[in-house]
């Protein structure tokens, strides 16, 4: 949603990681961004312009004197400039204000966000001169997607590996989404399923993928909030820079939520927390027997109910997954748990099932106002939920304990 129709200029410099830029461009094109590429002379020793022309559908720009004022045209065209990979040499040039090729000239002429994705040998990365140049550019509000530790092309191991594509995408989204309406707010989001062990190999859980909770955390962070995400087991990766905690059981999630409680302004409880746990976890695998097995279960802690009792001036948002009498059940849950907003969905409806990228929800607030949303991506749903939270904040419509 954020990247759609955005004009993104990719600057490719002379490093072996240039081949990884193809993956970034494919992701941006898939997100319906308009992507153009500028290559330095050195980068053309590692990858061809034809590769990028094929991926973007646009001509690649290389000549610093191309059409005279091309650097101005491209600097004004772009919504964001991403240098990937960014070599120590190019970063040094920009830090010194040099403009000796098309890319550095565009950067000097640009008044849009510039994101550097450094990639180099570990000793180059740790060199005080490079660190000084990177620090100087950060002070001037240039963005960096920090290199990772790992195996490098030269065979050494350490800092300097190009960041993961997902992290780069996260950073691009962050600089493009210029709507910090949650700035200064501390948001706690729970996501995913919880797992309750029965024995060393079996457990009770549910089909939650965590996608809705992760979308909420991402949307809140993009809108300026300080976000903590607590998640049960999922295959998802959080947005770079987020305070991320992983848990397994309902009890662990309960403990982590209330460790953070004093620093929370808004709680969005999107996790599918197990309602029951085994009364006794067996130390050994339960053997199959001819007769039926009776499993005794106890209730887990009701995290959202406890949060409602300790609410104070915090804003609480809960989720209700219902398959019958949906609205009545959701309103009952909202009132009993002292919530400001409840998000209702039925997994049997088209577009609202488990482990899919879309959702269809109904928002019900404390005044019992009902807003039905159409099927949309989970990140769009997340932003709609936050829009509703912003309205409540502006109107100061908080239920206080």
> Looking at residue 240, what is its pLDDT?
74
- Mean pLDDT of the 143-163 span: 83
The pLDDT-based confidence of 65 (bands split at 50, 70, 90) is low
Q: State the Cα–Cα distance between residues 60 and 51, nearest whole angstrom.
A: 10
The pLDDT confidence band at residue 174, using thresholds 50, 70 and 90, is confident
CA dist list (Å): 60 to 5, 22, 68, 74, 80? 19, 13, 16, 12, 17
Phi then psi dihedrals of residue 68, to 5 deg: 75, -65
pLDDT 10s digits, 78-131: 999 999 999 999 999 999 999 999 999 999 999 999 999 999 999 899 999 999
pLDDT digits (tens, 9 = 90+) for 377-391: 888 899 999 999 998
* Phi, psi of 59, deg, nearest 5: -65, 145
Inform me whether the pLDDT recorded for 10 exceeds 60: yes
Cα→Cα distances 387→100, 360, 394, Å:
45, 16, 11
CB 385 within 8 A of CB 341: yes
How far is residue 338's CA from residue 22's CA, in Å, rounded to a whole number?
49
Q: State which H helix or E strand residue 8 sits in.
A: strand 7-12
Q: What is the mean pLDDT of the chain?
A: 91
Active site residue 154: yes
Q: Which residue has the tokens 């109910």?
A: 305
- 8 with 82: CB under 8 angstroms? yes
Please name each of the domains of the chain with its CATH number. Answer: 7-176 (3.40.50.1950), 186-277+294-395 (3.40.50.10300)
Active-site annotation holder among 80, 117, 154, 260: 154
SS3 state of residue 156: coil
Asked if the model's pLDDT at residue 257 lies above 50, the reply is yes
């Amino acid at each position: 949603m954020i990247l759609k129709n955005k004009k993104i200029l990719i600057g490719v410099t002379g490093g072996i990681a240039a081949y990884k830029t193809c993956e970034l461009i494919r992701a941006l094109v898939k997100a319906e961004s308009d992507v153009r590429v500028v290559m330095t002379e050195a980068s053309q020793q590692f990858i061809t312009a034809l590769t990028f022309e094929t991926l973007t559908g646009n001509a690649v720009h290389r000549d610093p004197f191309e059409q005279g004022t091309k650097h101005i045209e491209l600097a004004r065209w772009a919504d964001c400039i991403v240098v990937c990979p960014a070599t120590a040499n190019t970063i040094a040039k920009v830090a010194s204000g040099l403009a000796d090729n098309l890319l550095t000239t565009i950067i000097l002429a640009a008044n849009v966000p510039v994101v550097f994705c450094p990639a180099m040998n570990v000793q180059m990365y740790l060199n005080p001169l490079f660190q000084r140049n990177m620090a100087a550019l950060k002070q001037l509000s240039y963005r960096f997607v920090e290199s990772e530790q790992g195996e490098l092309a030269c065979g050494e191991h350490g800092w300097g590996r190009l960041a993961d594509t997902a992290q780069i995408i996260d950073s691009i989204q962050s600089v493009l989404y210029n709507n910090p309406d949650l700035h200064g707010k501390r948001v706690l989001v729970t996501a995913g399923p919880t797992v309750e062990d029965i024995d060393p190999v079996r457990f009770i859980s549910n089909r939650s993928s965590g996608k809705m909770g992760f979308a909420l955390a991402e949307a809140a962070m993009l809108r300026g909030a300080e976000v903590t995400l607590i998640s049960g087991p999922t295959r998802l990766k959080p947005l770079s820079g987020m305070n991320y905690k992983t848990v397994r059981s309902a009890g662990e999630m309960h403990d982590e939520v209330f460790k953070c409680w004093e620093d929370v302004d808004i709680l969005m409880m999107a996790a599918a927390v197990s309602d029951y746990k085994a009364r006794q976890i067996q130390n050994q695998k339960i053997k199959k027997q001819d007769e039926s097995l009776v499993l005794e279960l106890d209730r887990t802690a009701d995290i959202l109910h406890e949060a409602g009792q300790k609410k104070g001036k915090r804003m609480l948002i809960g989720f209700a997954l219902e398959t019958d009498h949906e609205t009545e059940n959701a309103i009952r849950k909202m009132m009993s748990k002292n919530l400001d907003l409840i998000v209702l969905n039925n997994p049997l409806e088209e577009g609202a099932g488990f482990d899919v990228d879309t959702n269809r929800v109904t928002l019900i607030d404390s005044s019992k106002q009902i807003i039905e949303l159409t099927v949309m991506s989970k990140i769009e749903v997340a932003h709609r939920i936050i829009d509703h939270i912003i309205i409540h904040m502006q109107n100061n419509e908080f239920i206080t304990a």
